[in-house]
Amino acid sequence: MAIRSVLINVTDIARSADFYSRFLDVETVSVDADHAVLDAVTATIRLRRIDASASSTWIADDLQAGFRHVGFKVSDLDARVEALHAAAVPFQLEPIHAEGDVRITFFYDPDGTVLELVEGPLQYHEVYDRDAVERDWGLGDPARPRFDHVAETVEDLEVTTSYYGELGYSLMSGIHQPSDSRGFEINFLRDGDSSLEIFTYEKAEKTHREPQLDAPGFLAVEFDGGAPGQAHRVGDVAGVEFFADPDGLVHTVTPA
C-alpha cells in the first residue's frame, strides 16, 4: 500500500506543470485550469490551484517536525543542476557527496516545495530488511527522474514505524550522520517502489506546526489503504478527507 501521489498546492497550474515537465521530465496525465496530474514513474504529482491567501508556516529547518522534502532518483544530476542554474531556480543546497555514497542537491519549486535529486544507489549503513533493499537497488538508474521518497522529521521512530506499519510500511534501512552533533539519524520505511525517509534528532528540540490545507507548497501524501487508527483528521477538500500523523505529516488514503 505504497505512496500513490504527492499533492502540492500551487498558485499557477501552467507555471508549475511546466516547471515539473522541464526539470523533472514528468509526463502530463491530465491538466485543466485548477488541477494537473503528472506522472513521475512510481507515483503521480498532483497539482491543485489555490488562491495564495494563506502564508505557509513551513520553514526550511529540519528541526521542524513533519514534511521536509520530496525526493527523486536521477542518473544525470550535473546536467539537471546546470539547467536549474540557467533558469535561476533557487537552491536550498548545492550538490554534495553525502553519507551513503550518493550525490544530492535540494532546490525549490515555484511555490516553495523543497525537491531533492539523488544520484547513485544509496549504500545503507544499517540494513533491517535485505529483500526490500535489494528491490530498491533493483530499480536501477532511471531513464527519467523517478519519484523516490517523501522526507519527514519525527519525534519518535518507533511511534512513526508503528503508525505507518498500519499502511504496510516496514523499517528497511538506516544512514548514520556521525558529523552532526544534534544526534541526526535517517531511517527508511519502505513499501512498494518508494520510501518514507524519516529524520530523527535525539539531541535537539523540535518545533511543530498546525497542518495547513490551503497554503502554497506541499499539501499531502496520498497512500493506498485506510487511515491508521491514530490518524488525526485535519479536514476535507472537495470531498477528500485529510489526516495528519503524530508529527503533522498530512496525508490522505485511497482504498487499494
pLDDT at 52: 75
The percent of residues above 90 in pLDDT, for the chain, comes to 97
pLDDT tens digits along 229-244: 999 999 999 899 999 9
pLDDT tens digits along 145-186: 999 999 999 999 999 999 999 999 999 999 999 999 999 999
Spatial strand order of the sheet with 91-98 comes to: 91-98, 102-108, 114-119, 66-74, 146-153, 194-201, 184-191, 170-176, 126-127
pLDDT tens digits along 34-65: 999 999 999 999 999 999 778 999 999 999 99
Q: What are 219's three cell numbers?
A: 499539501
pLDDT at 49: 97
Give the strand pairing for 66-74 and 146-153: antiparallel
pLDDT at 57: 98
Residue 255 has pLDDT above 80, yes or no: yes
Residue 104 has pLDDT above 70, yes or no: yes
**Kindly report the CA angle at 133 between 171 and 118, in degrees rounded to 5?**
100
Q: Rounded to two decimals, what is the model's pTM?
A: 0.97
Mean pLDDT for all residues in the chain: 97
To the question of domain 66-201 being in CATH 3.40.50.2000, the answer is no
Superfamily of structural domain 3-56+211-254: 2,3-Dihydroxybiphenyl 1,2-Dioxygenase, domain 1 (3.10.180.10)
Average pLDDT over residues 79-94: 99
203: pLDDT confidence band, cut at 50, 70 and 90?
Answer: very high
pLDDT at 144: 98
110: pLDDT confidence band, cut at 50, 70 and 90?
Answer: very high
Average pLDDT over residues 217-234: 97
83: pLDDT confidence band, cut at 50, 70 and 90?
Answer: very high
Residue pointed to by grid coordinates 530488511? 129
Enumerate the CATH 3.10.180.10 domain ranges in the chain, comma separated.
Answer: 3-56+211-254, 66-201
pLDDT at 256: 74
Residue 116 has pLDDT above 80, yes or no: yes
Residue 198 has pLDDT above 80, yes or no: yes
Residue 1 has pLDDT above 70, yes or no: no
Q: Which range has the worst mean pLDDT, 37-41, 53-57, 121-125, 204-208?
A: 53-57
